[in-house]
Chains A and B, each alone.
Chain A
Amino acid sequence: MNCERIREIIITDYADGAVTDADARLIKEHLSSCRECRKFEALVQSSTVAPFQRLEREDVPPGIWDAIREQLPEPAPGRAFSLRAAVSRLFFVPRPALLALSSVSICVAAALLIYFHFSPPGASGGYNGTVQDEKMQYMAYIMGFSDTMSGRNQGEYSYIEEMFFE
């Protein structure tokens, strides 16, 4: 092999320790007798390989993970899970607002109770007692629902959630 071919290997596979044992022997033999190629080999190591190998990795700056998380889409795993999460989000009410909402709904319920109780039987069209009871139950349900939202354990589904699961 001539010097040119030797240097081609030195600057690639030889510098990267990727030559076969036989090639390595050939090159070392050449280097022991060729001063110019020896200089070239030393230069390749010191200027194009070693400085980069010595370079330490920098630590990943803080805050990147948070920025990534913000850009990820909402998790959409199993159907049941996502529906439950979606429903919970849909009906999520912050605590102070919940208090206000509860008192308002109690007043509304009381007003409705008084209205249905004291209105004459014929006044509300075709409504009979049973329909009125159902209405009342429904009102209670809505209120009960909003109560269970605040202190519900895992595994207990609310009425609206069950509608999605069955």
Chain B
Amino acid sequence: MKFQLIYAQRGKTRFMHNNQTEEVIARASNGDLQAFRDIYDAYSGFVFNVALRVTRHREDAREITQEVFVTVHNKLKSFRYQSSLRTWMYRVTVNASLNYIKKHASLKSRTVAYDDALGSSYSRDYMAEKSEREHNEGVINRLLGMLTPEQRACIVLRSMEGLSYEEMADVLAIDVNAVRSRLKRAREKLLSVRKEVLENEL
């Protein structure tokens, strides 16, 4: 069985031996809380960050992270190792994030408030004091805000999470050419709005 558990915590990537991973999954699916905690420690970083960038809201990301792990826990018994746990977790996370946005689409005012908090409402003086990292953060959030949730997911999976086109096809359940054209459209959109976003940020 081709399968590997990847620990991705702040740049560190560690591979677990295949049999070890299967053992952890088997134990977790049998109610071993420590084994499930190991899975949480290995994957909560990317689950939270993908949800955060797709929804652009910390509280949403927190709720989605909880939902993802409860879902995964309850479905672990039926996990059949056709794909890696990592791919499966990405898929559950992206789906949960997109569904969350659809469900809460009516609460548009909240998104606007978030935009303001991280974007144009800062005064010029404050902007000058902001670190480069914070500045980059603000630009990113505004750029992502210009995309559809599906396009955001593509950009996040590719450029932040570093997934290959093939992995993205698995996660998004579309073919590689569809991945390519979604990325293309997302990046063209980013190019067309970048001037506006940068002017707002500076």
Contact = CB atoms under 8 A, between A and B. Distances in A.
Contact of B66 (A54, A64, A77): A64
A60 B159 contact: no
Contact of B165 (A18, A55, A69, A77): A18
Contacts of B180: 12-13
A11 B70 contact: no
Interface in B58-72: 58, 62, 65-66, 69-70
A4 to B, nearest CB: 12
Contacts, number: 94
Q: Is the interface of B mostly helix, strand, loop or mixed?
A: helix
B195 to A, nearest CB: 9
A15 B52 CA distance: 24
Contacts of A47: 190-191, 194
Interface string B176-202: 000010011011101100100000000
Interface stretch (B15-23, B28-36, B82-90, B121-129): B28-36
Interface size class of B (residues with CB under 8 A): 35 or more
Interface residues of A, number: 34
Given A11-B188, A48-B187, A69-B33, A60 B70 contact: no
A27 to B, nearest CB: 15
B177 to A, nearest CB: 10
Contact of A56 (B40, B133, B159): B133
A120 B158 CA distance: 90
A73 B160 contact: no
B140 A61 contact: no
A58 B45 CA distance: 8
Contacts of A114: none
B48 interface: yes
Interface of B: 10, 30-33, 36-37, 40, 44-46, 48-49, 52-53, 58, 62, 65-66, 69-70, 73-74, 133, 136-137, 139-140, 143, 155-156, 158-160, 164-165, 180, 183-184, 186-188, 190-191, 194
8 contacts: A44-B191, A47-B190, A57-B160, A60-B65, A64-B48, A67-B66, A68-B40, A72-B70
Counting from the closest, the 4 A-B pairs by CB-CB distance are A75-B31, A52-B159, A48-B187, A77-B31
Given A57-B10, A73-B74, A75-B32, 15 more contacts: A13-B165, A51-B143, A55-B137, A55-B140, A57-B49, A58-B52, A60-B45, A61-B62, A64-B44, A64-B65, A65-B40, A67-B66, A68-B66, A68-B70, A72-B70
